[in-house]
Amino acid sequence: MTRPARALLKWSNLRHNYRIARQRTRHEAYAVIKADGYGHGMTACADALAGEADGFAVACVDEAVRLRDAGIRQPILVLEGAMEPAEWQLASRYHLQLAIHHPQQLRDRAAVVFDEAVAVWLKINSGMNRLGVRFSDAPEMIARIRNDQGLILRHVMSHFSSSDEADTACYEAQKTRMLGQAWPVPLSLSNSASVLRGGVEGERVLRPGIMLYGSSPLEGVTAREAGLRPVMTLQSALISTHSVPAGESVGYGGSWTAARETRVGVVAIGYGDGYPRHAPAGTPVNVAGVRCPLIGRVSMDMITVDITDAPEACIGSPVELWGELVDIDEVAALAGTISYELYCRLTPRVPRTNLQ
């Protein structure tokens, strides 16, 4: 029997989620497909949105060049910008848009000559204290960009640090500060959480990321409540079943002990596939249509689940780890992480199946 672990990718759901971003605000939206499309496949995501997305955003020039080589012609924004002078030449050659977040990038640009002007987005540090120039340095940076005939200042951008939190005081303060400046070009401010809150009045371009894949970034709001649909369904099947009496343990270290006679199902999935090793007992797994709890430690290639309450479950029964029936955000929270990491850590040995 072929190992049954696989990821089903429903591209109609990606398009549905993108449309939600556009409908919430009526602004343009650059779909963020960095990190191999959050583990979904970067070029596949771009192809699925080719007829709808206003543009795409990736982390680095290498990712952008891969998209161009794959035939993607929409605007592409490189969120980390050029990391060395040669990448400015690539940006010109491949018609890439670059974020500028540090004066060193302009010094690198001055070291090279390219034929076609490069569109740039100036990134402002509105409170994340990660990338971006401070408000006090922005006028000088804007002047340097606008005095360079090889550069076109397209947008001013920022990335909110707290738009996903239930307490929105910090988010509102950062919005107010960005909107309180007299910027010479349109703004791009909203990530997924900000989009789901309705965006920012006066901005021009959204940058939805995790919401495109069907996961909610908002505290206290599920993906279903936000109207989002999962693009990825991680599936496998039972490869063994057996019973253990009350008092016996299951898995490495004997960390889980049966309180009753328990019917155990063994699923062909593990941390070698990207399923979180730290998922605790009780993490939901859907077996043959029944919600069942994970028991014992996650192994490299297998997990064990309590299928006592799923009497029809047998070898070959379908199992969903996350997707339509199991919310990935719930799995991630129980494992002490976020859905972004679970999507991105899915390993190559899990085959992808594309659905329309």
State residue 278's pLDDT score: 96
pLDDT for 120-177, tens place per residue? 999 999 999 999 999 999 999 999 999 999 999 999 999 999 999 888 999 999 999 9
Of 10, 18, 30, 34, which is the active-site residue? Answer: 34
Range list of β-strands (E), 179-231? 187-188, 205-206
**pLDDT reading at 46 higher than 80:** yes
Give the whole-angstrom CA distance, residue 48 versus residue 11: 6
pLDDT-above-90 percentage for the chain: 95
Give the pair of three-digit tokens for residue 59: 């982390």
Tell me 239's DSSP state: E
Quick one: pLDDT band at residue 26, thresholds 50, 70, 90? confident
252 a catalytic residue: yes
**pLDDT reading at 245 higher than 80:** yes
Give the pair of three-digit tokens for residue 205: 């371009």
- How many Cβ atoms are within 10 Å of 124's Cβ, its own excluded? 26
**pLDDT reading at 72 higher than 90:** yes
**pLDDT reading at 12 higher than 80:** yes
Higher-scoring residue by pLDDT: 19, 166: 19
**pLDDT reading at 1 higher than 60:** no
Closest CA to 83 of 63, 61, 68, 67: 61
State residue 323's pLDDT score: 98
Give the whole-angstrom CA distance, residue 347 versus residue 272: 7
Longest Cα–Cα distance in the chain: 77
State residue 242's pLDDT score: 97
Closest CA to 267 of 215, 232, 307: 307
Quick one: pLDDT band at residue 25, thresholds 50, 70, 90? confident
Contact at 8 Å (CB) between 100 and 120?
A: yes
Mean pLDDT for the stretch of residues 44-59: 97
State residue 24's pLDDT score: 83
State residue 45's pLDDT score: 98
Mean pLDDT for the stretch of residues 203-219: 96
| C-alpha neighbours within 13 Å on the C-beta side of residue 8 | 16
Q: Provide φ and ψ at 158, rounded to 5°.
A: -150, 170
Pairing of strands 55-58, 290-295: unpaired
State residue 356's pLDDT score: 84
- How many Cβ atoms are within 10 Å of 260's Cβ, its own excluded? 11
DSSP string for residues in 254-309:
G-EE-SS-EEEEEES--TTTT--TTPPTT-EEEETTEEEEEES---SS-EEEE-TT
Closest CA to 158 of 92, 167, 73, 180: 180
Mean pLDDT for the stretch of residues 213-239: 97
Mean pLDDT for the stretch of residues 42-52: 96
Q: Report how far Cα 238 is from the mean position of its chain's Cα atoms.
A: 29
pTM listed for this prediction: 0.95
Give the whole-angstrom CA distance, residue 219 versus residue 301: 32
Closest CA to 205 of 163, 145, 157, 159: 157
34 a catalytic residue: yes
**pLDDT reading at 83 higher than 70:** yes
Pairing of strands 118-124, 249-250: unpaired
Closest CA to 301 of 353, 257, 236: 236
Amino acid at 256: W
* Paired residues of 156 in beta bridges: 122, 187
Give the pair of three-digit tokens for residue 228: 């989002």
Positive or negative torsion for Cα 60, 61, 64, 66? negative
State residue 126's pLDDT score: 94
Contact at 8 Å (CB) between 320 and 328?
A: no
Mean pLDDT for the stretch of residues 229-248: 98
Q: Provide φ and ψ at 131, rounded to 5°.
A: -105, 150
State residue 298's pLDDT score: 98
What's the chain's average pLDDT? 96
**pLDDT reading at 274 higher than 70:** yes
